Amino acid sequence: MKLILPPGLSERGLNRALDAFAGVTGREWVLRTDEDRETYLDVYAPGNEASHAPSAAVAPATTEEVQAIVRLANEHHVPLWPISRGKNFGYGGAAPRMPGCVVLDLGRMKRILEVNERYGYCVVEPGVGFYDLHEYLQSRKLPLWLSVPGNGWGSVMGNALERGFSATPYGDHGAQICGMEVVLPGGELLRTGMGAMSRGTTGPMFHHGFGPSWDQMFVQSNYGVVTKMGMWLMPAPEATLSMSMKLPDPEDLGWLVDVLAPLRLRGIVNHIVSVQGCMASATMSSQRKDWYQGEGALPDSVLRAIMAKHDVGWWNFTLRLYGDPEVNEANARLIQKAFAARTTLPFTIARWSRAESGTIGGPAPGVFPLQIVNWHGGRGGHIGFSPVLPPDGKLVVEQLRLTRQRFREAGIDYSGTFYISGRHVINVNLIIYDRDNAGMTQRVRGLFGALVKDSAAAGYAEYRTHLSYMDEVAATFDFNGHALRRLNETVKDALDPNGILAPGRNGIWPARYRGQRGTG
C-alpha cells in the first residue's frame, strides 16, 4: 500500500532512520516493502485501514537492540509503535494509533526466561505466546495453570499490558504482573519493584518494591517498552467443581448479578464469572443467513429459535470451584443455597480431579471464538464496547436495555457478555460487521459513538477500546477539566520529550503530536 509518513517527517528522513535501524538489527529485520506494511494493518478495522497504517516495522532480537532503536528514533524523530505479537484483535491488531509510526515488533523476543513451580510465576519476553507458555508447562508437567483470554493466539505479556482478562481465579491479567524490565523513551533500562536491586531476587514475588510502585504505569500507556515481565501463575488445583446454569430471559441478568456479586465478594466464588448471551453460540457456529435473511437487528423470535436449537439459555454461565474437593463441595452448597432463594432453575454439575485424570489439567489456548467474524460472511470484522458497571442488578439491566435499544436503532445484531466480579461488572458488547458493507460500517461507527455517550451519561466508561475510539473514550474521563489527561500528558512529556513512543495510545498524546488528537 501507499507509504504514509508520520506528521512532519519526509520520506528521506524516514529512510535515513530505517537505514540506521538496519545497522542495529540487520537489513532482514527492517520491514519496509508495501507488502510488509500491509501485514501490520488492522485486519478487522471498522473503517479505512489507512487511518492506522504504519510506515514500516523493525524487529529487534534483544533488549540492547530495543535500546539502540529507541535512541535512534529520538535522533531521527521517528515515532515507534511497540507491539508484542500484534494479535490485539478487535482493538486494532498490530496497527498504530497514529498513521506513519514504525511498528516496533518485539515478536522475535520470545524467551521464557523462568518458570518457578515453587512460587508460581514466570518471567517472559514480549513475543512469548499463550501457546508457547502452555506447551512449556504441559511438556514439563509443571503443576501451574495459565489464564487464557478468548483469543489465545496473542502474547502473554501483550494481553496483560492491555488488561485482558478471563474467567479464572488469576483472570485479571494486568493484576498478575509482578516486576518488569522497561526501556524508557530515552533508551535507559529500568527494572521495577524488588527487581530494581542489582542483585534483587524477589522481583516476580512482591508487587511493590520500596517507594512508588511503577509496574501499572506501563500498562495501557506509552511511557516505555516492556522487554521482560514477571507474571503470577495459578498453582494447579487438586480438583475442580463446575456449576452451569441456563437462564431463560434477558431480565434474569438482574437477580443473577445480585446473587453472584456477593458470592464473589466473599470469596466463595473466586473468579470473574462470564455470563454469556445466547448469540455467542450462534456467532461461533453459524452464519446470520442460516437464521435470518431480513434487514435490521435479529428479532427476538430468531433469538428464541437459536436458544431452542442450541439448547442454551438467554444467558449462560459456569461457576468453577478450585482446590480441595471437600472445600469445593462445601462452597457448592453455599452457592446452591444462595441461588435457591431466587430460582428453582437447576445447576449442571461436573467434577474433575488431577488424581483421577492423571493430568495437570488447566485451560488450553484456542482461537475458536474468532469464528464470530464469519457471521456475515465475506471479510468480517469486530470491535467491542466494554463499559465497567457497578454490580447492581437494576443498573445492569437498565444498561442492557439501553444497549440493546441502540443496537436495534443501528440495525446491528446484539451480542453481549457480562463479566461479574464482586465490585464491578465488565459488559463486553461485541459489534460484528461486514467490512465490505459501507452502510453497515457507517452504522457501526454511529452505534459506537452513541454507546460511549450513553454510558458516560450514566457514569460508566470502557476498560479498553479500539484505536479509532481511544480519544473519544479518554475524553469521557473529564473530572476537573480533564485533570487525568493533564497528568498523563505531563508525565508523557517529561519522559518522552520527542514523543517517539506510541503517540496517542489510550488518548495520551505527546506535545509533538498533540494536534493529532481526535483525528483518524
Partner 1 sequence: MRRAVILRAAVWLLALPTLAAQGAHAGEATVGQALFQRHCGICHLKGGTGTFMLGRRLGEQNALLETRKDLAGDYVRAAVRNGIQSMPRFSRVELPDADLALIVQYLGGAQSR
**162 vs 215, beta carbon nearer partner 1:** 162
Could you say which of 6, 14, 40, 508 contacts partner 1 (CB under 8 A)? 40
Pick from 132, 181, 215, 252 the residue near partner 1 by CB under 8 A: 132
Compute CA distances 56 → 35, 48, 424, 503, whole Å.
Answer: 10, 18, 40, 16
Q: How many CB atoms lie within 10 A of CB 97?
A: 27
139 lines the binding site for partner 1 (CB under 8 A): yes
Residue in 48, 359, 405, 519 binding partner 1, rule: CB under 8 A: 359
Q: Using the rule CB under 8 A, which residue among 14, 20, 53, 59 binds partner 1?
A: 59
Q: Among residue numbers 232 through 291, which ones bind partner 1 (CB under 8 A)?
A: 240, 280-281, 284-285, 287
Indicate whether 56 belongs to the interface with partner 1 (CB under 8 A): no
Name the CA dihedral angle for 77, 78, 84, 86, rounded to a multiple of 10 degrees. Answer: 150
Nearest to 225 by CA among 179, 174, 270, 182: 182
Q: How far is the CB of 351 from partner 1 (least distance, A)?
A: 11
* Nearest residue (CB) to partner 1, 137 versus 177: 137
In this structure, are residues 462 and 387 in contact, taking their beta carbons and an 8 Å threshold?
Answer: yes
Figure out which of the listed residues 14, 73, 105, 456 binds partner 1, where binding follows CB under 8 A: 105
Of 10, 12, 35, 201, the one binding partner 1 by CB under 8 A = 35
Nearest CA to 328 among 265, 273, 256, 268? 268
Q: Is 119 in the site for partner 1 (CB under 8 A)?
A: no
CA distance 291 to 458: 34
Give, as ranges, the residues between 468 and 497 that touch partner 1 (CB under 8 A): none
Nearer to partner 1 by C-beta: 319 or 461?
A: 319
- Judged by CB under 8 A, does residue 302 bind partner 1? no
Determine which residue in the list 15, 29, 175, 205 makes contact with partner 1, applying CB under 8 A.
Answer: 29
CB of 492 to partner 1, least distance (A): 27
Residue whose C-alpha is closest to residue 48's, from 111, 2, 109: 2
C-alpha grid cell for residue 228? Answer: 521482560
Find the angle CA(410)-CA(507)-CA(386) to the nearest 5 degrees: 40
Rule CB under 8 A: is residue 115 a binding residue for partner 1? no
Q: Which of 460, 463, 469, 513 is catalytic?
A: 463
CA distances from 428 to 233, 346, 460, 499, 506 (A): 25, 26, 13, 32, 18
Pick 152 or 250: Cβ nearer partner 1:
152
> Considering the complex, what minimum distance in angstroms separates the CB of residue 41 from partner 1?
7
For residue 6, give the DSSP letter.
Answer: P
In the complex, minimum distance from the CB of residue 371 to partner 1, in angstroms, rounded to a whole number: 5
Query: Would you say 380 and 432 are in contact if contact means Cβ atoms under 8 Å apart?
Result: yes
Residue 512, interface with partner 1 (CB under 8 A)? no
Q: Does 356 bind partner 1 (CB under 8 A)?
A: no
Can you give the C-alpha Rg of the chain in angstroms? Answer: 23
- 268-292: b (≥16 Cβ within 10 Å) or e: bbbbbbbbbbbbbbbbeebebeeeb
Q: Give the residue from 353, 336, 354, 334 showing the smallest Cα distance to 344.
A: 336
For partner 1, the closer of residues 81 and 460 by Cβ is: 81
Q: What is the 3-state secondary structure (H, E, C) of 430-493?
A: EEEEECCCHHHHHHHHHHHHHHHHHHHHHCCCECCCCHHHHHHHHCCCCHHHHHHHHHHHHHHH
Of the ranges 246-254, 352-360, 422-430, 466-474, which one interacts with partner 1 (CB under 8 A)?
A: 352-360
CB of residue 195 to partner 1, shortest distance in Å: 27
Give the residue from 129, 123, 134, 124 showing the smallest Cα distance to 154: 129
40 among known catalytic residues: no
Counting contacts by CB under 8 A, is residue 39 touching partner 1? yes
Active-site residue identified among 464, 505, 512, 517: 464
Reply yes or no on whether 463 is catalytic: yes
Question: Residues in contact with partner 1, total (CB under 8 A)?
Answer: 57
Residue 5 phi/psi, 5° resolution? Answer: -95, 155
- What are the cell numbers at 44? 478487522
Cell of 481: 477539566
Residue 57 touching partner 1 (CB under 8 A): yes
**Which of positions 369-388 make contact with partner 1 (CB under 8 A)?**
369-371, 373-374, 378-380
Closer by beta carbon to partner 1, 60 or else 203: 60
Residues that bind partner 1 (CB under 8 A): 29, 31, 35-36, 38-41, 43, 57, 59, 85-87, 89, 93-94, 105, 107-108, 131-132, 134-135, 138-139, 152-153, 240, 280-281, 284-285, 287, 310, 318, 320, 352, 357, 359-371, 373-374, 378-380
What are the residue numbers of the active site? 91, 463-464
